[in-house]
Structure 1
Amino acid sequence: MDQGVEFVARAVMIGVGATIVMDLWAVFLKRVFSIPSLGYQVVGRWLASMPSGKFRHDNILKAAPVPGEGAIGWTAHYVIGVLFAAILLAIVGLGWAKAPTFHPALLMGVVTVAAPFLIMQPGFGFGVAASKTPAPTTARIRSLMTHTVFGIGLYLAAMLTKGVI
């Protein structure tokens, strides 16, 4: 198989798998501890406002809903998961996907928390690393936990798909 095709196929399988693990974590937190996640419609609202030049909100939760924001947000959530998996594969190589080890995946998961801290939360009007939220430390810990779970998901998805291609 062509290496480019294999790279894309593995990035999709691993990224989607890791994102599913992250979503299952959110369901677990909600059902067991009544901890709701931010909903991906907010991500869709943020992304849908960009073509009109609005990249930062005072508070995205107070912005008017956008048609299709849920679908936009959920699609972006999975596309971002695939992109993070592709970055991991670009760094560690395709060989890792054929014989996954835990630490690179976990490290990648932890590093990905930079995206919400430095891009999404400021864009939502929540400040860098949720500094403008009512409980920034709680928000930071939840983000770090979720992205750590994403890293675990990268490893698990790689383990489950290593023999597929």
Structure 2
Amino acid sequence: MGFVATGVLMGLAGTAAMDVWAQLLHRAFGQPLPNWAMPGRWFGHLAKGQVFHDDIGAAEPIKGELGLGWALHYGVGVLYGLIWAVLAGAGWLAAPTFLPVWIFALLTIAAGWFLLMPGMGLGWAGSRLDLPWIVRAKGLLAHTVFGLGMWGAALAVA
């Protein structure tokens, strides 16, 4: 399997693993599920040239924002999978190990912390939220699960 197909598969598997993780936390502990409509709304406004909002919930709704949010979620996951496949190269893809992909997966949280969250009015790394450190810890754990999903897909292909 080539770099592109492997990268796409890794991104899809990592993102799906995050979604399964969210479902498990929801069912076991009542944690709310992600509302992908708000990132969809943010992305819809981004396409119109507006990056930052004081409160994305107060911004004008975007037609199809929930579907747009899900597409953004999986599209970014696939993009990360493709980037990792190129960065890691054929050697890692032939014999995938967890540590490098885990570090990469943890680094990908930077886009959420420093673009998406402030763009939606949540502050840098969620600093405007009631419990920003809890949100950050949960994000790092979710990105660990993303890395596990990517690694699992790479192992399956190798």
Q: Normalised by the shorter chain, which TM-score bucket?
A: over 0.9
Could you tell me which runs of 5 or more consecutive residues in structure 1 were left unpaired when the two chains were aligned. Answer: none
Are 1:71 and 2:67 counterparts? Answer: yes
Q: What SS class does the counterpart of residue 93 from structure 1 fall into?
A: helix
Question: Could you tell me which residue of structure 2 aligns to residue 124 of structure 1?
Answer: 120
Question: Could you tell me which residue of structure 2 aligns to residue 102 of structure 1?
Answer: 98
Q: What SS class does the counterpart of residue 122 from structure 1 fall into?
A: helix
Rounded Cα–Cα distance in structure 1 between residues aligned with 2:129 and 2:10: 32
Q: Following TM superposition, by how much is the alpha carbon of 1:54 offset from its aligned partner in structure 2, in angstroms?
A: 1.4
Counterpart residue type for residue 120 of structure 1: L
CA contact (8 A) 1:46 1:124 kept: yes
State, as a whole percentage, how many aligned pairs show the same letter.
39
Q: What SS class does the counterpart of residue 47 from structure 2 fall into?
A: helix
Q: Following TM superposition, by how much is the alpha carbon of 1:37 offset from its aligned partner in structure 2, in angstroms?
A: 3.3
Question: Could you tell me which residue of structure 2 aligns to residue 14 of structure 1?
Answer: 10
Are 1:93 and 2:89 counterparts? Answer: yes
Greater shift, 58-67 or 138-147, is seen at: 58-67
Report 1:1-40 matches (<5 A).
6-40=2-36
CA contact (8 A) 2:4 2:85 kept: no
Structure 1 length normalisation: TM-score?
0.90
Q: Deviations over 1:131-162 (max 9, x none)?
A: 01111111111111111111111111111222
Rounded Cα–Cα distance in structure 2 between residues aligned with 1:72 and 1:150: 20
Are 1:81 and 2:105 counterparts? Answer: no
| Matched residue count | 158
Rounded Cα–Cα distance in structure 2 between residues aligned with 1:57 and 1:146: 25
Counterpart residue type for residue 118 of structure 1: F
Question: Could you tell me which residue of structure 2 aligns to residue 49 of structure 1?
Answer: 45
Question: Could you tell me which residue of structure 2 aligns to residue 59 of structure 1?
Answer: 55
Q: Deviations over 1:54-97 (max 9, x none)?
A: 11110112223221111111111111111111121222103322
Q: 1:158 aligns with which of 140, 154, 157?
A: 154
Rounded Cα–Cα distance in structure 1 between residues aligned with 2:52 and 2:34: 17
Pairwise CA RMSD: 1.4
CA contact (8 A) 1:15 1:154 kept: yes
Counterpart residue type for residue 155 of structure 1: W
CA contact (8 A) 1:14 1:161 kept: no
Structure 2 length normalisation: TM-score?
0.94
Q: Deviations over 1:78-131 (max 9, x none)?
A: 111111111212221033222211111111111111111111101010000100
Rounded Cα–Cα distance in structure 1 between residues aligned with 2:93 and 2:38: 32
